[in-house]
Amino acid sequence: MTSSRNHQEAHGIGQIEEQLKQQADAADAIQGGNETDREIVKAANRDAHTSLDEIFDK
């Protein structure tokens, strides 16, 4: 049962991350981004593989 709960929690975290990304993208489209924001996004996407990805890969 613990494995199922952990999977559900990991899935929920992934959904939250996706929702936050969509909100950030929308704000950028509306307000226009700045160079610092673009550098942060670029750095975050450079190594997008996390320990959560290892859970989903199983």
Tens digits of residue pLDDT in 9-20: 777 888 999 999
Count CB-CB contacts under 10 A for residue 23. Answer: 10
Write the DSSP string, 5-27.
Answer: HHHHHHHHHHHHHHHHHHHHHHH
Q: What mean pLDDT, rounded, does the chain reach?
A: 79
Range of the domain at 29: 9-54
Amino acid letter, 10: A
3 within some domain: no
Percent over 90 (pLDDT), the chain: 10
4 within some domain: no
* Count of the separate structural domains present in the chain: 1
pLDDT at 32 > cutoff 70: yes
1 within some domain: no
